């Protein structure tokens, strides 16, 4: 904006005291200061607002104005509340350095001027950035020379002072700004080229969960979330096939069914700002940015087409009981695609996932496929071509992932190598649990690593059994690994509820009643005794009891239940009852 426009705005109450020939100067920002030397905070083009607290006598005006002129500021606006009038020595100094000088009426707050300048500068920058974004969109549409979402985020930081990140639906950080200033456009209270810190993992998970919940229920974006003292605005990044061409202000809310089909595959743009009072022009600009990022999202999705087809072919062969030689031949074709540069004859692991929505009107297979493709990305790999080394197919309501493990010296035993169910669950539990909100459920099963095509059929069944074990557990997001299939925990989830209640009531209710009446802590004593394998000394030490006191409690347990804790059968019954309670 031009200085002349400020003078023409009656609401600002500015009076020109000198510099009429310089009113065509461009204002790029605003800074309020009463420092004697504010040069470290100036970068040129600012309107400097000052209350004159730096002035002790007439000799101070010349060095102050000289510093401003050397920094290339656009003009000075001096408040009259402190001294009543702008001193003549300041008027003379500004005229000597050809620096326009305004007087600010005491009834006008500096905040009013700052807000007006920031709004005008932001609007002009948004228009300039929109043109840059449009050029960048054409570049990305024509090919990969555009540079991906990182370049777009850098534009937001450099031109609008907006810090923004692209996140996956599970909170994985896909792209972030390399450098961005923390202030609004035009503010110069800190170094705008400072390196912006990475978004903490817990904040990423929180933002992803809030976005998932909002999108799943069809709420209009952008969604505003406050984490600590920081407010973020979340914009959905929808793939090109589903992206609507109208800006956010005119978009219709998607119905719940459509949201459920895409909510676990769409990215989101998180902007560190409150978009509630943004102008339509800026909202339109951010909508254009999300469309631009969606181009990269679609490109990466298209790159998975070959891997999906290979996985589908292998899955169909395995389920049809094809000969191992035929499956091995197909895997030899798949290995170079899935493990570029990492050798041949890998071991394989199978992961099965299922997403169930209340009502069942949405096909879960494609949704689970998108989820597995997201959570099985290798975070240590660089570039999308190296991070997507898995192939995911879907059949019915479940998705099946073939995960290649690079060949290593020695054999995989399936317990220490490859993907573990606990790690898989940890990567998605928090954002998905908070975002699903009893409306949907995710269950995962992981097989052991197998060394050849002959083992794939067994690995698939193993992963499916593990997923069923996970499905029998409480919770919205559950996972189980192959290790649990060789334990009693495989059987417990499938015991009918009425049998569970009757079995545990018969053994544990007498102890609970006694504890309630006498505060005897028989149940904790029983748990510790079994956990110590019936060792009196170790159990007494753990409970900080004398051995005789422990023997008294165990005797009371046996008396109340009619069982003998020296017998293996009775120990096992108590152990199972505690696990099922």
- Residue 357, φ and ψ in degrees, nearest 5: -105, 145
Over the range 223-248, which residues count as b (16 or more CB within 10 Å of their CB) and which as e? bebeeeeeebbbbbbbbeeebeeebb
pTM over 0.85: no
At residue 482, what are phi and psi to the nearest 5 degrees?
A: -65, -25
CA–CA dist 483, 460 (Å, integer): 14
Residue 498 burial by Cβ neighbours in a 10 Å radius (0-12, 13-18, 19+): exposed
Q: Euclidean distance between the first and final Cα of the chain, in Å? A: 71
pLDDT at 548: 92
pLDDT tens by residue, the chain, 581 residues: 788 888 888 788 889 999 988 888 888 788 888 888 988 888 888 899 998 888 889 999 999 999 999 998 999 999 877 667 899 999 999 999 999 999 988 888 888 888 788 777 765 555 555 555 555 554 444 444 445 677 778 777 776 778 899 998 888 888 887 643 333 333 333 333 334 457 888 898 889 888 888 877 777 778 888 998 899 999 988 765 444 433 443 334 344 445 566 677 788 899 998 888 787 777 877 887 887 788 777 777 777 787 788 888 888 888 888 888 888 888 777 766 665 554 555 678 889 998 887 765 566 788 888 888 888 876 554 444 445 667 788 887 889 988 877 654 344 444 445 677 677 777 677 777 766 666 678 889 888 888 877 888 888 888 888 888 888 777 888 888 887 765 555 566 656 777 778 888 889 999 999 999 998 899 999 999 998 888 898 899 989 999 999 999 999 999 999 999 988 888 888 988 887 77
Q: Are strands 101-104 and 440-446 parallel, antiparallel or unpaired?
A: unpaired
DSSP string, 71-87: HT-SEEEEESTTTSS--
Collapse the DSSP code of 46 into the 3-class scheme (helix H, G, I; strand E, B; otherwise coil) and give the result. strand
pLDDT at position 252, please? Answer: 40
CA 102 to chain centre: 47
* Spacing of C-alpha 515 from chain mean position: 46
Q: Which residues, other chains included, contact 104 with Cβ-Cβ below 8 Å and sequence gap of 6+?
A: 12, 13, 14, 49, 77, 78, 79, 80, 110, 113
Each residue's pLDDT tens digit, 496-511: 777 778 888 889 999 9
The contacts of residue 191 (CB under 8 Å, 6+ apart) are 181
Per the listing, tokens 């003379």 go with 92
Tokens in use for 252?
């219709």
pLDDT at residue 201, rounded to an integer: 85
pLDDT at 494: 59
Sheet hosting strand 223-227, strand order edge to edge: 173-175, 164-167, 267-271, 230-237, 223-227
What is the DSSP code string of 230-290?
EEEEEEEE--TTT--SS-GGGPPPPPHHHHHHHTTT-EEEEESS-GGG--HHHHHHHHHHH
Size of the chain in residues? 581
pLDDT value at position 76? 94
Phi, psi of 132 (to 5 degrees): -65, -45
Tell me the β-bridge partners of 61.
none
DSSP letters spanning 288-308: HHHHHHHHHHHHHHHHTHHHH
Q: How many Å apart are CA 423 and CA 206, to the nearest integer?
A: 19
Print the SS3 string covering 16-36.
Answer: EEECHHHCCCECCEEEECCCC
- Contact yes or no for 359/271 (Cβ under 8 A): no
What's the confidence (pLDDT) of residue 368?
Answer: 85
Q: What is the pLDDT of residue 192?
A: 34
Q: Is 81 exposed, middle or buried (0-12, 13-18, 19+ CB in 10 A)?
A: middle
- Is residue 343 within 8 A of residue 370, CB to CB? The reply is no
As a whole number of angstroms, the distance between CA 92 and CA 61 comes to: 9
Closest CA to 133 of 292, 298, 294: 292
- The domains found in the chain, sorted by start residue, are 3-108 (3.40.1390.20), 142-302 (3.30.450.30), 305-492 (3.30.70), 497-580 (1.10.10.2840)
Among all chains, which residue has been given the structure tokens 């609007």? 123
CA 409, CA 343: separation in Å to the nearest integer?
12
How far from 484 is each of 195, 348, 418, 481, 574, CA to CA, in Å?
A: 46, 19, 16, 6, 20
Tens digit of each residue's pLDDT (9 = 90 or more) over 136-193: 554 444 444 445 677 778 777 776 778 899 998 888 888 887 643 333 333 333 333 3
Pairing, β 46-50 against β 75-79:
parallel
């Amino acid at each position: 904006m031009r200085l002349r426009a400020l003078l023409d705005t009656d609401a600002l109450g500015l009076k020109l005291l000198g510099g009429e020939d310089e009113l065509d100067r461009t204002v790029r920002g605003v800074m309020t200061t009463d420092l004697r030397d504010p040069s470290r905070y100036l970068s040129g083009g600012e309107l400097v607002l000052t209350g004159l607290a730096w002035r002790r006598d007439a000799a101070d005006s010349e060095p102050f104005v000289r510093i401003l002129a050397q920094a290339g500021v656009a003009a000075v606006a001096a408040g009259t509340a402190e001294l009543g009038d702008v001193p003549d020595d300041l008027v003379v100094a500004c005229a000597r350095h050809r620096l326009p000088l305004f007087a600010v009426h005491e009834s006008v707050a500096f905040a009013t001027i700052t807000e007006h300048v920031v709004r005008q500068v932001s609007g002009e920058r948004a228009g300039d950035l929109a043109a840059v974004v449009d050029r960048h969109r054409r570049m990305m549409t024509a090919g990969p020379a555009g540079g991906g979402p990182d370049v777009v985020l850098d534009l937001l930081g450099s031109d609008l002072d907006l810090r923004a990140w692209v996140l996956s639906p599970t909170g994985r950080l896909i792209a972030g700004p390399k450098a961005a200033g923390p202030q609004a456009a035009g503010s110069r209270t800190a170094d705008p080229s400072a390196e912006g810190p990475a978004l903490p993992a817990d904040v990423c998970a929180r933002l992803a969960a809030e976005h998932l919940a909002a999108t799943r229920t069809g709420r209009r974006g952008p969604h505003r979330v406050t984490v600590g003292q920081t407010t973020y605005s979340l914009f959905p990044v929808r793939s090109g096939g589903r992206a609507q061409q109208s800006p956010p202000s005119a978009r219709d809310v998607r119905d719940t069914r459509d949201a459920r089909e895409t909510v676990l595959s769409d990215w989101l743009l998180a902007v560190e700002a409150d978009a509630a009072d943004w102008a339509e022009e800026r909202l339109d600009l951010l909508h254009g940015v999300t469309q631009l990022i969606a181009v990269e999202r679609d490109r990466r999705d298209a790159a998975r087409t070959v891997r999906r087809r290979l996985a589908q072919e292998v899955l169909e062969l395995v389920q049809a009981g094809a000969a191992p030689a035929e499956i091995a031949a197909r895997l030899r074709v798949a290995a170079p695609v899935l493990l570029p540069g990492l050798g041949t004859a890998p071991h394989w692991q199978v992961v099965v996932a299922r997403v169930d929505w209340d009502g069942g009107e949405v096909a879960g297979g494609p949704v689970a496929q998108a989820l597995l493709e997201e959570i099985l990305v290798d975070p240590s790999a660089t570039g999308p071509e190296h991070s997507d080394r898995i192939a995911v197919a879907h059949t019915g309501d479940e998705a099946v992932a073939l995960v290649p493990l690079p060949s290593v010296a020695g054999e995989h035993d399936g317990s220490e190598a490859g993907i573990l169910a606990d790690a898989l669950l940890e990567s998605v539990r928090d954002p998905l649990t908070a975002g699903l909100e009893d409306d949907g459920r995710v269950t995962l099963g992981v097989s052991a690593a197998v060394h050849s095509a002959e083992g794939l059929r067994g690995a698939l069944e193993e992963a499916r059994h593990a997923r069923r074990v996970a499905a029998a557990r409480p919770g919205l997001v559950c996972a189980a690994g192959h290790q649990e299939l060789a334990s009693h925990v495989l059987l417990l989830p499938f015991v009918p509820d009425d049998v569970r209640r009757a079995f545990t009531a018969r053994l544990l209710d007498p102890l609970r009643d006694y504890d309630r009446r006498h505060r005897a802590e028989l149940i904790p004593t029983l748990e510790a005794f079994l956990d110590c394998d019936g060792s009196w000394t170790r159990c007494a030490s753990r409970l900080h009891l004398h051995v005789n006191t422990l023997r008294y409690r165990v005797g009371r347990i046996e008396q109340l239940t009619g069982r003998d804790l020296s017998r293996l059968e009775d120990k096992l019954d108590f152990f199972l009852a505690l696990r099922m309670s």
